[in-house]
């Protein structure tokens, strides 16, 4: 059944099981996007909605960018698909080379199709690496409370958002969690990184003492935790984690799925914080959301550890049918060109102070108990309605959509992460509308 009476409205909403959505509620009062351009979405009733979230933190260069569309079109006309198992195609090598030139720390890239796959790939590489260097007893993985690392079994095991875990059985064995880094009393209304909290990294010493370093393979953290409601790393915290990992021979992985590709005003959080982990996981900004893709960046030592043994053996028994899909690579190369040619990372850095002032101006808006920001990220935490967690923020989300802005909420926290092409007038509109909305929510 494909004929639709109205091209903008599906005949039936039933078949599609929507991800991370209250299906029955949505299907009673659907909200549909049918078009997009630059900073805006277009709804099925023809309204323009300002995108305060870059889709889902992925459309960093703004919507429907012509060079990306052209690159994908040209590629699909040339070659639609080619396998990357025991075969190659030029553009996948070109794209990997391009990505490694963006960072002095990493020399190799493993392609995936999403952030979740990047995380599970990095965790598997960490385990296999320890084994390859003769440290096969190192099998424990350490994540952090309130972490989000996608929805694969590896990711939900090292992550800690209770609803993402509690339905799915015992998860991976041998996982432990660092404490999260948020403390409302000590960090309220943080302009950038909070002063308080570096010592929380020392908990890694406790975990290592509990299990012994010889059992620990890797630590994975988001440099800035996004999905749990924007938690900023305290000053010195990431450096401390790096030092403790080094001391005990533990690999450090930064999950840069939201921070990669300019969100903080630098190519990666690695550059922004000046702390270099052993691997980073990326996805969202890599193709500007145009074609699904993710990438794990590895240090040379990690890749080299696998390049051992007879040359006819496969070194890593891992990969996806669509690893390095030609259309994704074409979109990715065009995306990197836009980031460079339009100086979008620098632009994000230049706009960050304006963004900060605008976000912090909401600290006295109704229901707001905390405002926090870094780069072009913001978290606006609302006081929960007693007995009804998430209700207030969700009401704000619906009202904001009606008033022409797209925001994202998690728990009772509004998270904002606009495309890096945002202008000051858009920031004013976004923040002004959030304030108006907060005046009307229960």
Query: Which residues in this chain contact ligand PLP in the complex, by CB under 6 A?
Result: 114-116, 119, 148-150, 222, 226-227, 255, 257-258, 283
Of 122 and 213, the one with the shorter C-beta distance to ligand PLP is: 122
Of 381 and 429, the one with the shorter C-beta distance to ligand PLP is: 381
Report the C-alpha gap between 252 and 154 in whole angstroms: 16
Among candidate residues 41, 43, 42, 37, the one with its CA nearest the CA of residue 63 = 37
Q: Tokens at residue 293, please?
A: 């893709």
Q: Tokens at residue 192, please?
A: 């950038």
Report the C-alpha gap between 345 and 318 in whole angstroms: 32
> Nearest approach, Cβ of 150 to ligand PLP (angstroms)?
3
Q: Tokens at residue 43, please?
A: 């709804």
Report the C-alpha gap between 347 and 423 in whole angstroms: 10
Long-range Cβ contact pairs of 298-302 (< 8 A, separation 24 or more): 298/106, 298/107, 298/108, 298/109, 298/110, 298/125, 299/105, 299/106, 299/107, 299/108, 300/107, 300/108, 302/108, 302/125, 302/129, 302/251, 302/278
Of 193 and 360, the one with the shorter C-beta distance to ligand PLP is: 193
Report the C-alpha gap between 43 and 54 in whole angstroms: 16
Name the β-bridge partners of 175. Answer: 141
Of 222 and 370, the one with the shorter C-beta distance to ligand PLP is: 222
> Nearest approach, Cβ of 263 to ligand PLP (angstroms)?
11
Of 117 and 381, the one with the shorter C-beta distance to ligand PLP is: 117
Of 223 and 429, the one with the shorter C-beta distance to ligand PLP is: 223
Report the C-alpha gap between 130 and 276 in whole angstroms: 19
> Nearest approach, Cβ of 185 to ligand PLP (angstroms)?
26
Of 118 and 360, the one with the shorter C-beta distance to ligand PLP is: 118
> Nearest approach, Cβ of 417 to ligand PLP (angstroms)?
10
> Nearest approach, Cβ of 222 to ligand PLP (angstroms)?
5
> Nearest approach, Cβ of 90 to ligand PLP (angstroms)?
26
> Nearest approach, Cβ of 116 to ligand PLP (angstroms)?
3
Q: Contact, 221 vs 255, CB < 8 A?
A: yes
Of 221 and 396, the one with the shorter C-beta distance to ligand PLP is: 221
Cα separations in angstroms, 262 against 151, 318, 348, 401: 24, 29, 7, 26
When CB distances to ligand PLP are compared, the closest residue is 115
End-to-end alpha carbon distance in the chain: 42
> Nearest approach, Cβ of 268 to ligand PLP (angstroms)?
13
């Amino acid at each position: 059944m494909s004929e639709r009476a109205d091209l903008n409205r599906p005949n039936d909403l039933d078949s599609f099981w929507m991800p991370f959505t209250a299906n029955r509620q949505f299907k009673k009062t659907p909200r549909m996007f049918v078009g997009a351009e630059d900073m805006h979405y277009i709804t099925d009733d023809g309204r323009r909605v300002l995108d305060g979230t870059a889709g889902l933190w992925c459309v960093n260069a703004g919507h429907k960018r012509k060079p990306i569309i052209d690159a994908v079109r040209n590629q699909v006309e040339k070659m639609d698909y080619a396998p990357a198992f025991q075969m190659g195609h030029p553009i996948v090598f070109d794209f990997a080379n391009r990505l490694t030139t963006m960072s002095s720390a990493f020399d190799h890239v493993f392609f995936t199709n999403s952030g979740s796959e990047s995380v599970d790939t990095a965790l598997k590489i960490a385990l296999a690496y320890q084994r390859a260097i003769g440290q096969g007893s190192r099998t424990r993985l350490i994540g952090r409370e309130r972490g989000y690392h996608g929805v694969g079994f590896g990711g939900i095991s090292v992550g800690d958002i209770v609803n993402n875990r509690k339905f799915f059985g015992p998860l991976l064995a041998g996982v432990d969690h660092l404490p999260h880094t948020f403390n409302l009393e000590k960090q309220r209304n943080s302009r950038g990184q909070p002063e308080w909290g570096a010592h929380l990294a020392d908990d890694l010493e406790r975990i290592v003492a509990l299990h012994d370093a010889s059992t620990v393979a890797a630590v994975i953290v988001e440099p800035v935790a996004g999905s749990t409601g924007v938690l900023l790393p305290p000053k010195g915290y990431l450096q401390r984690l790096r030092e403790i990992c080094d001391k005990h021979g533990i690999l450090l992985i930064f999950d840069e799925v939201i921070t990669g590709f300019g969100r903080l005003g630098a190519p990666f959080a690695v550059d922004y914080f000046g702390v270099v982990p052993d691997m980073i996981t990326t996805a969202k900004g890599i193709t500007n959301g145009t074609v699904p893709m993710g990438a794990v960046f590895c240090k040379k030592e990690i890749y080299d550890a696998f390049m051992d043994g007879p040359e006819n053996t496969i070194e890593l028994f891992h990969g996806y049918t669509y690893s390095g899909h030609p259309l994704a690579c074409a979109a990715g190369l065009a995306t990197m060109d836009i980031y460079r040619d339009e100086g979008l990372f620098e632009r994000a850095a230049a706009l960050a102070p304006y963004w900060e002032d605008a976000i912090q101006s909401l600290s006295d808006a109704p229901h707001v108990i905390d405002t926090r920001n870094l780069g072009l990220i913001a978290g606006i935490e609302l006081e929960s309605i007693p007995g009804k967690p998430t209700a207030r923020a969700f009401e704000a989300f619906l009202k904001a959509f009606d008033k022409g802005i797209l925001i994202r909420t998690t728990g009772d926290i509004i998270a904002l992460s606009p495309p890096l092409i945002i202008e000051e007038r858009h920031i004013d509109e976004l923040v002004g509308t959030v304030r108006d909305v907060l005046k009307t929510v229960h």
